[in-house]
Amino acid sequence: MGRKRKGDAVSGWICLDKPYDLTSTSAVSRVRRAFNAQKAGHAGTLDPLATGILPIALGEATKTVPYLVDADKAYRFTIAWGVTTATYDREGETIAESDVRPTVAEVEAALPAFVGEISQIPPAYSAIKVDGERAYDLARAGQTVELAARTVTVHSARVAEAADADHVTLEIECGKGTYVRAIARDLAAMLGACGHVSDLRRTRVGRFTEESAVTLEFLEDLGYEARQSELLLPVETALDDIPELAVTAEDAFRLKQGRAIVLVPRQVEAVKARLKPGSRTVSAMAGGKVVALCEMRAGRLEPSRVFLLESGD
């Protein structure tokens, strides 16, 4: 007989507004304790020095984390001119200084080079693994870290404001794997300046936005029942880009048992019209809740992830 998990079978998402100087792992632990949840996880690490949107999954929602990790994101960040640091943020040691202060016009003229599919070398101080070790651990140990360039997608980039000659604030919309610190590094190099990210805020992850975000303090101040009823977002929130298909109670039962179901031709055509190119993933729904994530093959839905949601989830 399996050991019973500690905590409650709470399932859903919290759109957390992560505070400054807190790790993503610590934020997950505090949210998990607030809900007394059996399990929890986050979709996309946010640096301790960054603030903003950190979606946290509880219970069955953890099964949807991989789908949100791939979602587009938005950032607002400030570059401080004059100093380049080893980490390309305000935490690192100064490695170069310059009197060059790019103007807003110069920054705006340079930004188109950072939009679209671009080649980017991640910072040495990053969570990327090198021979099984995190790059930032190797860098902090004084080792030389050389990371390969990778292709990332930046959908848009704009100057939001410039408080003074020493600072410029940018806003970008980008795909997964994009490093804001690398954009700041490369932009400064293009403009013949030194610079680092002095402030960084993530403003969106997929459907998770600042409008639906809550702080840890607000969350922890609420009573348990209020947290459950007011703040917990549905498991399906992370599946915005996956087409839904309503199934019967009988088919839902089969899917939960791990068995495939056969679709009628009109269902197949309806799903095909909404699938992204190269994707077969479909969200099977019953009673307004996700039953399973399935792969559509030869007119059948084959469950790949099954959700065991209680009626109150």
**Coil/strand/helix, residue 278:** coil
The CA-based dihedral angle spanning residues 8, 9, 12, 16, taken in that order and rounded to the nearest 10 degrees: 20
Q: What residue type is 7 in one-letter code?
A: G
Alpha-carbon gap, residue 219 to 227, rounded angstroms: 7
Is residue 240 within 8 A of residue 279, CB to CB? The reply is no
Catalytic residue check, 313: no
Catalytic member of 17, 47, 89, 251: 47
Q: What residue type is 103 in one-letter code?
A: T
Rg (C-alpha) for the chain, rounded Å, is 22
**Coil/strand/helix, residue 269:** helix
- Exposed (0-12), middle (13-18) or buried (19+): which is 253, by Cβ within 10 Å? middle
Strand ranges (E), 86-212: 94-97, 116-120, 129-130, 133-134, 150-164, 167-174, 195-205, 208-209
Alpha-carbon gap, residue 118 to 273, rounded angstroms: 30
CA-to-CA dists, residue 226 to 27, 31, 34, 60, 212, angstroms: 19, 14, 11, 20, 16
Q: What amino acid positions are annotated as catalytic residues? A: 47
